[in-house]
Structure 1
Amino acid sequence: MPAITVENPLSLPRVVATSEQAAAARPVRAVTTAPKGYEGEGFPVRRAFAGIDYRHLDPFIMMDQMGEVEYAPGEAKGTPWHPHRGFETVTYLLDGTFVHQDSEGGGGTINDGDTQWMTAGSGLLHIEAPPEELVVTGGLFHGVQLWVNLPAADKMKDPRYQDIGGGQVKLLTTADGGALLRVIAGELDGHEGPGVTHTPITLLHATVSPGAEITVPWRREYNALAYVLAGRGSVGTEHRPVHLGQTAVFGSGESLTVRAADSQDAHTPDLEVLLLGGRPLREPMAHYGPFVMNSHAELAAAFEDFKAGRLGRVPATRV
């Protein structure tokens, strides 16, 4: 980790917060630690947003860090066929391979550094599974899945996929080249990522060298979160300590500050952190299992449609 990198970050466009933005740095509201659990057929996850008030997450719903796990032969696991309606799943793979398939014939394979953005919209069935070769041989698997809520007006749109190859992400650095910033979706300091979103958000993966500090501009109307994928460091100008599996919730302001500890470990040479935020929808949310709607009546309708087969059927030829 990570798969997408460059030999010389100083060859990239540089992101620098203005003095006014830096002066309006966002304070750290809270730091939470993700509990560990299992998803699907039994692959390990960290529940990144567990315990965080939804007011600070909106428009995000949940996020799981999948792995990091080194599978032995025969151990690799995925999810069984399951339905979704009313939101988007964003699967960002750091190491390994994952295969997606849906009831309409969509999906695809993502590898190291790739992102698959699935807009469930009005609903479908889908499956996420390791490829046969990973099951047979074993190997490293590590990724993140983020759920992004859809506005009420878009919840019943037709499903859509975006396959974002690792080579498509916008690569940036900081003034001193101490960090590599990969913009997957949204905008950072005028630089656009490739992901197309219904809900305005920014999602980026930063690799911060030991001892380096980044201060990046952040839209005032967006909320702001930082999740540590690996390593240790601090967040905010108050230098609140963070480490693997922790999420920092920022308050209002115009910039975010993250610093990597001076020393890391041999397995994790840098601080790896996801920075994400979006414009809150501020709409009622009814969430149960695989459905995210605006009312309990809409949730009930989603379950009825699923039982009646109106969200699709598992194809005869499947993963």
Structure 2
Amino acid sequence: MPAVTADTLTLPRLPRLPEDGTRWRKVARVITAQRHLEGEGFAVRRPFPGVDLSLADPFLLLDHMGAVEYAPGEAKGTPWHPHRGFETVTYIMDGAFQHRDTHGGGGLITDGDTQWMTAGSGLQHIEQPPPELVAAGGLFHGVQLWVNLPRAQKWTPPRYQDIRGGDVTLLAGDDGSSLVRVIAGSLAGHEGPGVTHTPITLLHATVAPGARLTLPWPREFSAMVYVLSGDGHIGQDDRPLAEGRLGLYGPGGDALSMRAADRQPVASRQGWEILVLGGLPIREPVARYGPFVMNNRQEIVQAFEDFQAGRMGVVPAETVPHRTAADEAL
């Protein structure tokens, strides 16, 4: 898992948080991701939806893709499909993925890059492994996160952000043993490159075996940790958290505590690999069906009508499939 690496001894360090006097968040729940097939038939592990959305708010979905070693011809993606009412964030740690949309956004992301697509008022896009990966096979590992938009911003014009791995903000834990990549939001005054409509913080951390990582965290934000690989513990009570599991912190408190296990699996010898994420809860009604997330059923019906009427962009003629993912949802 190369993503982006650096010598932590040369990086700015997070502040040391005192044990006494710090209001530590308590762990509310631990969720095991469920396996699903997506797109053209690739497997994902999905910790949510499936939990109370009030705990995940403002996030809607998290898909963990891989890590998987594809044989030649095995790599798959998605067909053209529409979205409205939220943002998709795709972060690739190994391998490559390419994106194209009907608003003009697109590009190839690989090894630590992020593509941030604001669907907003609506568009269509396609996500595929590049031909080289399909032909030769190889290692692939990434995640996709869906971020909700509040009612007032669901009709914002679509936007695409191409965030290179070298653009993320790199920090070290307070003892210099952990590497923290800030993709979006703010951590201890350090800003990530991702521009968000909904206030969130998104981090990828590599915590050295046996090391403890503590993070200041906005009291009003939700907070969760998802394990990409390796073993560790979260919270002051050391709740175990292994690969494919999501730990949700409860409300209150302004700091998070987590610790990597002393012994890690062979595949995680560099450390415990985790996503840390949270945001300002939107606390609005959520109506979701297939590729659309709005506030009520009438808006969902309108989204399907707008898509079928061609108001979410036109797929290039040379790539028009017989049926799209949205057609299958009807």
- TM-score per shorter chain, which class? over 0.9
Q: Determine whether 1:310 maps to 2:306.
A: no
Q: Which amino acid aligns with 2:277?
A: L
Shift in alpha-carbon separation, 1:17–1:222, aligned structure 2, 3 A: farther
Shift in alpha-carbon separation, 1:241–1:22, aligned structure 2, 3 A: farther
Identify the residue that residue 260 of structure 1 maps to in structure 2. Answer: 260
Question: Is the contact between residue 103 and residue 158 of structure 2 (CA under 8 Å) also seen in structure 1?
Answer: no
Question: Is the contact between residue 217 and residue 256 of structure 1 (CA under 8 Å) also seen in structure 2?
Answer: yes
Question: Is the contact between residue 58 and residue 282 of structure 1 (CA under 8 Å) also seen in structure 2?
Answer: yes
Q: Which amino acid aligns with 1:9?
A: T
Identify the residue that residue 173 of structure 1 maps to in structure 2. Answer: 172
Shift in alpha-carbon separation, 1:21–1:205, aligned structure 2, 3 A: farther
Shift of 1:218: 0.3
Q: Secondary structure at the match of 2:303?
A: helix
Alpha-carbon distance in structure 1 between the residues aligned to 2:291 and 2:141:
22
Shift of 1:19: 2.7
Identify the residue that residue 55 of structure 1 maps to in structure 2. Answer: 54
Shift of 1:266: 1.5
Q: Secondary structure at the match of 1:45?
A: strand
Q: Determine whether 1:271 maps to 2:272.
A: yes
Question: Is the contact between residue 49 and residue 60 of structure 2 (CA under 8 Å) also seen in structure 1?
Answer: no
Shift of 1:318: 4.6
Shift of 1:52: 1.6
Identify the residue that residue 289 of structure 2 maps to in structure 1. Answer: 288
Q: Structure 2 matches for 1:236-247, cutoff 5 A?
A: 236-247=235-246
Shift of 1:177: 1.1
Question: Is the contact between residue 95 and residue 111 of structure 1 (CA under 8 Å) also seen in structure 2?
Answer: yes
Identify the residue that residue 127 of structure 1 maps to in structure 2. Answer: 126
For structure 2, list consecutive stretches of 5 or more residues without a partner in the other structure: 321-330
Alpha-carbon distance in structure 1 between the residues aligned to 2:272 and 2:230:
4
Q: Which runs of 4+ in 1 moved over 6 A?
A: none
Identify the residue that residue 230 of structure 2 maps to in structure 1. Answer: 231
CA RMSD in angstroms, aligned pairs only: 1.3
Shift of 1:176: 1.3
Identify the residue that residue 65 of structure 1 maps to in structure 2. Answer: 64
Q: Secondary structure at the match of 2:175?
A: coil
Shift in alpha-carbon separation, 1:198–1:21, aligned structure 2, 3 A: farther
Alpha-carbon distance in structure 1 between the residues aligned to 2:21 and 2:213:
11
What's the TM-score once normalised by structure 2's chain length? 0.94
Shift of 1:116: 0.3
Q: Secondary structure at the match of 1:2?
A: coil
Identify the residue that residue 33 of structure 1 maps to in structure 2. Answer: 32
Q: Secondary structure at the match of 1:15?
A: coil
Identify the residue that residue 98 of structure 1 maps to in structure 2. Answer: 97
Identify the residue that residue 17 of structure 2 maps to in structure 1. Answer: 18
Question: Is the contact between residue 85 and residue 119 of structure 2 (CA under 8 Å) also seen in structure 1?
Answer: yes
Q: Which amino acid aligns with 2:105?
A: G
Shift in alpha-carbon separation, 1:260–1:22, aligned structure 2, 3 A: farther
1:210-269 Cα shifts (integer Å, max 9, x gaps): 000011100001010100000001000100001000000001211111100001122111
Question: Is the contact between residue 59 and residue 280 of structure 1 (CA under 8 Å) also seen in structure 2?
Answer: yes
Alpha-carbon distance in structure 1 between the residues aligned to 2:220 and 2:311:
38
Question: Is the contact between residue 16 and residue 174 of structure 2 (CA under 8 Å) also seen in structure 1?
Answer: no
Q: Which amino acid aligns with 1:150?
A: L
Q: Secondary structure at the match of 2:204?
A: strand
Identify the residue that residue 298 of structure 2 maps to in structure 1. Answer: 297
Alpha-carbon distance in structure 2 between the residues aligned to 1:17 and 1:87:
36
Question: Is the contact between residue 22 and residue 215 of structure 1 (CA under 8 Å) also seen in structure 2?
Answer: no
1:103-136 Cα shifts (integer Å, max 9, x gaps): 2332111111000000001101110001111111
Question: Is the contact between residue 10 and residue 176 of structure 1 (CA under 8 Å) also seen in structure 2?
Answer: no
Q: Secondary structure at the match of 1:156?
A: coil
Q: Structure 2 matches for 1:64-83, cutoff 5 A?
A: 64-83=63-82
Greater shift, 224-233 or 105-114, is seen at 105-114
Shift in alpha-carbon separation, 1:67–1:22, aligned structure 2, 3 A: farther
Question: Is the contact between residue 17 and residue 255 of structure 1 (CA under 8 Å) also seen in structure 2?
Answer: no
1:16-71 Cα shifts (integer Å, max 9, x gaps): 25338862100000101001121100111000224321001111001000111111
What's the TM-score once normalised by structure 1's chain length? 0.97
Q: Structure 2 matches for 1:159-238, cutoff 5 A?
A: 159-238=158-237
Alpha-carbon distance in structure 2 between the residues aligned to 1:296 and 1:194:
35
For structure 1, list consecutive stretches of 5 or more residues without a partner in the other structure: none
Question: Is the contact between residue 89 and residue 117 of structure 2 (CA under 8 Å) also seen in structure 1?
Answer: yes
Alpha-carbon distance in structure 1 between the residues aligned to 2:101 and 2:174:
43
